[in-house]
């Protein structure tokens, strides 16, 4: 990974040897705990500079307090989302929408998309989500007393809900899981190849729905109007690609980290199995303790932030895994307390870019846990296996082999 030199305006005493990519515990680690590994930053200052804190090796400021992350993410005038991460990997320059737009353009698209994933809309989707979970888990239960939760449940579950949302048939499931894997975890050859495949797929789907509209997400997008005009091809692509990348790995990882915790904490597992009413609150605590996303913003102007000279163009990192372990915000932040109330965690971000899919993600996670606990008896991590965790832009879990023999 190429490391850029620390810019001259960053005082050397503000530079720390810390990175979500290269610090200890961030590389793929058997039985790792990357969340605990980053929780150490609260002993230090509210802001510091990390010389290498993106996949491309760029430096970022790191905001360590939840309160300050709220300030940054609510202030979109100073801290912009405009970056084109996905398309720049293809040597192109178009935004994922609404993620990489700033207000006021952001709000226009956000309002368009909000009803598609609103709490009300998610209630309508719920029976289909539950049906998918039950089918997958029943098949697992019938075929033995062990499985790899990531491969056999978490990924197929989230991908199939994504397919349903886009109005696509389930038989393409394996293809999509493959693309998603390559895109998120592939090497420098596989990643851009997968990105190109996904763009081509989204473009083709949009063309198809323009010609033959049906009642689904993509048809809605190609027919939608903003400011009295149809969306451009680039805008449709920006939305389609974002929904693809935002909703797969994140939900699968949340389910994986949650079940890994329960596999290691049998008392909590038994409590939730006996009293499923507790699962909704417990899911919030698992999201707090094991969030997955590092949010990045770009400074639009020079600003002194808690004593740090942020300069126009600097990257600013608001890692949700850091906010969620802030002792100023959460009592005993490193203890998982499944009955924690008023859990105002940052797993879905703060400010106008708050996760558009959060209501759906929450239902997927709760339903996944409910149906898993109802159908699989007391489970543990299978002996002689180790879940492999990783840090990065999106924290992940490669495998989770459970055993209930």
The binding site for another protein (CB under 8 A) comprises 70, 74, 111, 114-115, 118-120, 341-346, 348, 350-352, 354, 358-359
Identify which of residues 10 and 246 has a Cβ nearer to ligand HEM in the complex: 246
How far is it, in rounded angstroms, from Cα 343 to Cα 398? 28
When CB distances are held under 5 to 8 angstroms depending on the partner's kind, the choice from ligand HEM, another protein, none that residue 360 binds is ligand HEM
- Map residue 304 onto helix, strand or coil: strand
Q: Give bridge partners of residue 309 from the DSSP assignment.
A: 304
Nearest residue (CB) to ligand HEM, 10 versus 291? 291
Q: State the residues that interact with ligand HEM by CB under 6 A.
A: 81, 98-99, 110, 117, 242-243, 246-247, 250-251, 254, 291-293, 295, 320, 347-349, 353, 355-357, 360-361
Q: How far is the CB of 354 from ligand HEM (least distance, A)?
A: 7
Nearer residue to ligand HEM within complex by CB, 46 or 349: 349
Instruction: State the nearest-atom distance from the C-beta of 39 to another protein, in Å.
Output: 20
Q: How far is the CB of 80 from another protein (least distance, A)?
A: 17
DSSP state at residue 27: S
Q: Which is nearer to ligand HEM, 19 or 69 (CB)?
A: 69
- Spatial distance between the Cα atoms of 281 and 223, rounded to a whole number of angstroms: 38
Contact at 8 Å (CB) between 94 and 236? no
In whole angstroms, the minimum distance from the beta carbon of 14 to another protein comes to 28
The three-state DSSP-derived secondary structure of 244-267 is HHHCCHHHHHHHHHHHHHHHHCHH
Of 74 and 335, the one with the shorter C-beta distance to another protein is: 74
Query: If contact means CB under 5 to 8 A according to the sort of partner, which of another protein, ligand HEM, none does residue 120 touch?
Result: another protein
Q: Does residue 328 contact residue 43 with C-beta atoms inside 8 Å?
A: no
Q: Which does 333 bind (CB under 5 to 8 A by kind): ligand HEM, another protein, none?
A: none
Q: Least distance (Å) from another protein to the CB of residue 344?
A: 4
> Which lies closer to ligand HEM via its Cβ, residue 10 or residue 78?
78
Angstrom CA distances, 167 to 88, 162, 172, stand at: 28, 9, 12
For 134-162, the DSSP string reads HHHHHHHHHT-SEEEHIIIIIHHHHHHHH
DSSP strand E in 43-184: where?
A: 47-50, 60-63, 79-80, 146-148
Nearest to 184 by CA among 234, 250, 235: 250
Q: How near is the Cβ of 21 to another protein at its closest, in Å? A: 27
């Amino acid at each position: 990974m190429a490391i850029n030199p620390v810019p001259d305006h960053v005082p050397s005493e503000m530079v720390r040897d810390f990175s979500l990519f290269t610090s200890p515990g961030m590389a793929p680690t058997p039985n790792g705990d990357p969340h605990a590994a980053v929780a150490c930053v609260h002993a230090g200052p509210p802001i510091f500079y990390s010389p290498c804190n993106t996949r491309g090796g760029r430096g970022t400021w790191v905001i360590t307090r939840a309160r300050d992350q709220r300030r940054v993410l609510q202030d979109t005038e100073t801290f912009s989302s405009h970056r084109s991460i996905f398309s720049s990997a293809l040597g192109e320059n178009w935004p994922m929408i609404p993620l990489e737009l700033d207000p006021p353009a952001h709000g226009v698209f956000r309002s368009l998309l909000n009803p598609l994933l609103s709490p009300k809309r998610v209630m309508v989707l719920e029976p289909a989500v539950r049906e998918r979970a039950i089918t997958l888990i029943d098949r697992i239960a019938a075929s033995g007393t062990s499985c790899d939760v990531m491969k056999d449940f978490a990924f197929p579950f989230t991908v199939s809900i994504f397919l349903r949302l886009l109005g696509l048939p389930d038989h393409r499931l394996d293809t999509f899981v493959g693309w998603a894997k390559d895109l998120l975890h592939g090497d420098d050859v596989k990643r851009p190849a997968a990105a190109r495949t996904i763009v081509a797929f989204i473009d083709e789907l949009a063309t198809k729905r323009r010609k033959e509209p049906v009642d689904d997400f993509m048809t809605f997008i190609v027919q939608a109007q903003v400011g009295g005009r149809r969306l451009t091809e680039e805008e449709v692509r920006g939305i389609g690609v974002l929904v693809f990348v935002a909703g797969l790995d994140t939900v699968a990882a949340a389910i994986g980290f949650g079940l890994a915790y329960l596999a290691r904490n049998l008392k909590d597992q038994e409590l939730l199995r006996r009293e499923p009413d507790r699962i909704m609150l417990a899911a919030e605590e698992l999201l707090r303790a094991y969030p997955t996303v590092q949010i990045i913003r770009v400074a639009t102007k020079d600003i002194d932030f808690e004593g740090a000279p942020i300069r126009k163009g600097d990257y600013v990192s608001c890692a949700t895994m850091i906010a969620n372990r802030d002792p100023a915000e959460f009592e005993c932040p490193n203890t998982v307390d499944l009955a924690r109330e008023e859990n105002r965690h940052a797993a879905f971000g703060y400010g106008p870019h708050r996760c558009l899919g959060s209501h759906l993600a929450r239902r997927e996670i709760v339903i996944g846990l409910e149906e898993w606990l109802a159908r699989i008896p007391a489970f543990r991590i299978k002996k002689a296996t180790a879940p492999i965790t990783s840090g990065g832009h999106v924290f992940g879990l490669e495998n989770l082999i459970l055993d209930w023999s």
